[in-house]
Each structure stands twice: as structure tokens, then as C-alpha cells.
Amino acid sequence: MSQALPPPEELASDAAPRTVVPVVGHAPAALGALVLSRIFLGLLALLTLIALVTVLVLWQKVGGMQEQLARQSGDSLAQSLEARTLARQANETVRDTAARLALAEGRLAEVTLQRSQLEELMQSLSRSRDENLVVDIESTLRLALQQAQTTGNVEPLLAALKAADVRITRAAQPRLAPLQRAIQRDADRLRASASSDGGDALLKLDELMRGVDDLPTLNAVAVRHGGGANAWQPEPIPADAPWWERLLLTVRGEARSLVRVGRIERPEAVLLAPDQSFFLRENLKLKLLNIRLALLSRQAETARSELALVAGSLNRYFDPASRRVQTAATLLQQLQLQVRTAEPPRVDETLAALATAAAGR
């Protein structure tokens, strides 16, 4: 730090005896030099004062900063002590927690061992009951399956599956859950096959029964105009023909319609009396009713035999050139194919699940 200069008054008092020289003729120049020196000394004193004030202000700031640093260092020291205390407490807490966790793990291992032993005991006690349940369900389902395959009626089999499902639900055994799902899938498949196939076949039978009265027979010659390829068509009469020619053509047409010459392939169909035609239609209706009952009772063989009889009667006694007869023949063919492809009721998935459950897997 630079040394403080003496006040301007002292400098002036020291310098005054040195600068005053009694020189005649140069007084104004000496006076100007004296004024300039005094101004310079004043500016120098002002700068010195400003420097002193600045030094004082900086000193105060440095002191405040030192005090603030001292406080911050004290606070940091207190916080570090507090953090050290908290870390010590946390370490103690961790050791206590680890000891408790080890004790809890030991107790959990004991409880797990006891639970496994208890589960083994419960399984050994309930295994005999489950085996009896599985054997009982299997015997009931096999008996119902034999009845369904014999009679063709799936209702007893569906009832047996439903009863088995209820018994498994009451037993509440997790290892029998696959068996329960297999029973439900087989029951749904049996309901779907019975409802879809039977419903379509019954609709076709109803359509056939409604159209039996409208089917033309081979001996119905008077109503066959326009119905077949061999039907006789009247000769057209020209509009510009004279009256006598139109009369002649009309008489010839009426005469030709009275007599028809043709080859008889089935004499029994042509010689059928009108009352016999009525009984023929009623007999067809009865056969269709028998087919309906056979389908409802799932008797496929009976349905197939009755369908063959109906198809034979339709081909023998009714006009094959008629569109209605052709439609009826098509429906009969569809019914025969549907009954032929009908499969017997099966519960293979349930039987496989029963075998797995009986084996204890």
C-alpha cells in the first residue's frame, strides 16, 4: 500500500520559502506558477482522499466477507456433525433391521416348511376322495355315452356332463380344472351339433311336407300343360286367318287334346286312381313325420331308410319334369347326405381328461 502524502498546507509552507525569490520584472510568471502548483497539489490531495475512502470501503467489504465465511464455515461444521450423527443412527437402524430381517426369514422358512408338510397331508387326505369322484364321473359318462350311441339321443349324455360339472365345481379341486374345461367343451360341441344339424334338417322336412299337396303326379295329364318337356302345346292360330280356318284349327286342337299317345314307363303310376293319389300324398306325409321323429331321437338308420322310401315314391308316382318335383328331389338328396354324414355323439376330450386325472398327473 502506498504511503500517505502530507497535507497541501505543509507542502505549501515548506515550499513557500523556497519558491519566493525577489526578482524584479518576473512577478506575474512566478504568481502563475504558484497557482498551478497549488491546483496540482489540491488535485493530488483529492485523489488521495478518494483512494483512502475506497480503501476503507474495500476493507469493510472484506471484513463482511470474512464474517460471512466464518458463519458459513460454522454452519457447515454443524451440518457435518449433524450428518455424522444421522449416519451413525442410520447405521444402527440398518444393523437392527438386518437382524430383524434375518429373524423374520428364519420364521418364514419354518412357516414354509410347515405349510408344505400341511399341503402334502391335505393332498394325501383328499386324493382318495378325488379318485372316487373321478371314477364315479367316468362310469356315469360311459353309461350315458352308450345310451346316446344306442338311441341317438344326446340329452342323457348332456345331463351327465352337466352333473359332472356341478360335482367338480362343488369339489373345488384345482387339479380337476382341466377335466371341468374338457367337460364344458364337449357339452358345447354336442349342443351345437344337435341344434345346427337337427334344425336345418327339420326345416327341410317342414318345407317338403308343405309342398306334398302341390306335387303333380304322372297321371295328372290335364294339368301338365306348360309343366314338362313332353307336354302338348296347342297350335297357335294366326290372327289374320279367316274365320273358317280359325274354327278348324280350334276344333282340331280340342280333338288332339282329348287323345294323347305316348310311351308309358310306369304303368302303375299312370293307372293310379284319384282317391289313391290322396292316400299316396298322405302316406308321404306320414313317412316325413317318421323321418322327423327319427331325427329328433337321433336314429340315423331309421331316418335313412325312410328317406329312401320317400325318394322311391317321389320318383315313381310324380312327374319328374315338374319344377316342384325337382325341388323336392333336391331337398331329399340334401337330407340323405346330411343324415349320412352325421357322426355319433363323442366325448373323447372328456375321457382323455378323466384318464389323466385318474393317473394323478
Q: Give the count of domains, the chain.
A: 1
Encode pLDDT of 89-147 as tens digits. 998 999 899 998 998 998 898 888 888 888 887 777 666 777 778 888 888 888 888 87
Q: Is residue 222 part of a domain?
A: yes
When mean pLDDT is compared across 81-90, 137-146, 252-261, the lowest value belongs to: 252-261
Domain that holds residue 302: 196-256+265-340
Q: Residue 352 contacts by C-beta under 8 Å, 6 or more apart in sequence? A: 182
Q: Is residue 325 part of a domain?
A: yes
Q: Is residue 64 part of a domain?
A: no
Confidence of residue 222 (pLDDT cuts 50, 70, 90): very low
Q: Is residue 11 part of a domain?
A: no
Q: Is residue 352 part of a domain?
A: no
Q: Is residue 300 part of a domain?
A: yes
Q: Is residue 92 part of a domain?
A: no
Q: Is residue 93 part of a domain?
A: no
Q: Residue 266 contacts by C-beta under 8 Å, 6 or more apart in sequence? A: 218, 316, 317
Does the pTM of the predicted model rise above 0.75? no
- Give 138-144's long-range contacts (Cβ < 8 A, gap of 24+): 138/351, 138/354, 138/358, 140/164, 141/347, 141/350, 141/351, 141/354, 142/351
Encode pLDDT of 31-56 as tens digits. 888 888 889 888 988 999 999 999 99
